[in-house]
Amino acid sequence: MDDRRTFNTPIREPWNAPIHNCLKAIDNHMALYLATKNIWHLEKAAELRKYVRELKTWIHAEEERKS
């Protein structure tokens, strides 16, 4: 595990890699948007941000429910 990631739970563990990959995809879409000004990339980055926010909210709710 990355030294910056010092907190983990059994609920959170399986989602760490997918969240990381979504964040990389957001970065890729933003880089392409800045390079091409293709609005599609900006829209996809926004959709992925929304998904990650919703997923993290769900994770927090599950952790609270199971504690």
Distance CA 15, CA 58 (A): 11
pLDDT mean for each 10 residues of the chain (67 residues) = 71 96 98 98 98 98 94
- CA-based angle 33:29:45, to the nearest 5? 105
- Establish how many alpha carbons lie within 13 A of residue 21's alpha carbon, considering only the half-sphere containing its beta carbon: 5
CA distances from 14 to 3, 11, 17, 56, 64 (A): 18, 7, 7, 12, 17
The per-residue pLDDT for 67 is 85
The per-residue pLDDT for 22 is 98
Other beta carbons within 10 angstroms of residue 48's beta carbon come to 19
The per-residue pLDDT for 3 is 56
pTM of the model: 0.88
